[in-house]
Structure formats: structure tokens, C-alpha cells
């Protein structure tokens, strides 16, 4: 239910623009992150591939397939990290991976200085983190799936 909600939000959520730069939360990455906590098998990688393919089709950058590879790599790292961590949703590893993935997405999408990438990917990660906290509090994901 929550994955479908995030998918609908990812497709239909209005874009937040600042100086013609899209800084809206990345609901596809959030849904991969939530799905990796809920499931600890190879479905996470397929899910990341599927969402990367959707992003590739929607954004249609010059590098066809690169977003799919980035999303699949993000989901693979989350899958491998779920084996070793206690499966809490909000931890430094998840936030760092989210930041690095958004940073790579900005490098692919825009051509500007590294300061630009750092600032706008930080803002986007912060907004995505707020949405992640709201979903965690609303659905109680960390309480349901945390290892004891």
C-alpha cells in the first residue's frame, strides 16, 4: 500500500523548483529505501531496476540506461547493507546513500559547478529525508521491521 502511494506521489507530485532547478523529493528513491527495509531478498534489486527504468523513460536524459544503472546500484547497496544492519529506516548509511545517489542524479541532469551539485543535492536530500520521516511515522515502518 505504501509503495503504491509513493509510486503515485513520484509520478504526480508537483515539482518544486528553485531557480529553475527541480528540488522536489525523490519518491522513487524513498520507495526503494522503504522496500529494502521491508523485504530482504533480491526483489529489492528488481524493484530498483524497475524504478530506474521508469525514471529513464520519464526524464529521458542523453545517457539512456544510466539512471537505471544508478537506481539498481543504489538498491543493490541497500540490499547488501540490510544483511548487516538492524533494518531501521533512518540511519546514517541510508541517508549517505540517498545523498550520493541524488548527487549522481544532479550530475547527470545538470551541467554546472560542484558547489551547485553539493548545495542542491543537499536540499533535495533534506526534503526526501523529511518525507521519509513522515512516512515512517505514519506507517510505522521502523517499528514493524526492525530486528531485535
What is the Cα–Cα distance from 92 to 94, expressed in whole angstroms? 6
pTM equals 0.86
In this predicted model, what pLDDT tens digit does every residue of 40-89 receive, in sequence order? 788 999 999 998 998 888 876 677 888 899 999 999 998 888 666 666 77
Q: Is 21 helix (H, G, I), strand (E, B) or coil?
A: strand
Which residues partner with 17 through β-bridges? 22
CA distances (Å), origin 23, targets 50, 85, 107, 140, 146: 22, 29, 14, 26, 30
71: cell is 537506481
CA distances (Å), origin 128, targets 43, 93, 104, 111, 123: 23, 15, 15, 22, 9
> Residue 146: its pLDDT value, please?
67
Amino acid at each position: 500500500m505504501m509503495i503504491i502511494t509513493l509510486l503515485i506521489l513520484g509520478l504526480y507530485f508537483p515539482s518544486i523548483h528553485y531557480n529553475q532547478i527541480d528540488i522536489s523529493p525523490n519518491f522513487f528513491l524513498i520507495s526503494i529505501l522503504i522496500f529494502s527495509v521491508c523485504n530482504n531478498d533480491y526483489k529489492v534489486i528488481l524493484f530498483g531496476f524497475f524504478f530506474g527504468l521508469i525514471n529513464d523513460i520519464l526524464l529521458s536524459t542523453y545517457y539512456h540506461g544510466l539512471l537505471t544503472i544508478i537506481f539498481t546500484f543504489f538498491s543493490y547497496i541497500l540490499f547488501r547493507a540490510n544483511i548487516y544492519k538492524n533494518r531501521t529506516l533512518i540511519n546514517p548509511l541510508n541517508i549517505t546513500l540517498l545523498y550520493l545517489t541524488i548527487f549522481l542524479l544532479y550530475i547527470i541532469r545538470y551541467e554546472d559547478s560542484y558547489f551547485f551539485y553539493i548545495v542542491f543535492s543537499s536540499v533535495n536530500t533534506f526534503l526526501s529525508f523529511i518525507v521519509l520521516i513522515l512516512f515512517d511515522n505514519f506507517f510505522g515502518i521502523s517499528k514493524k521491521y526492525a530486528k531485535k
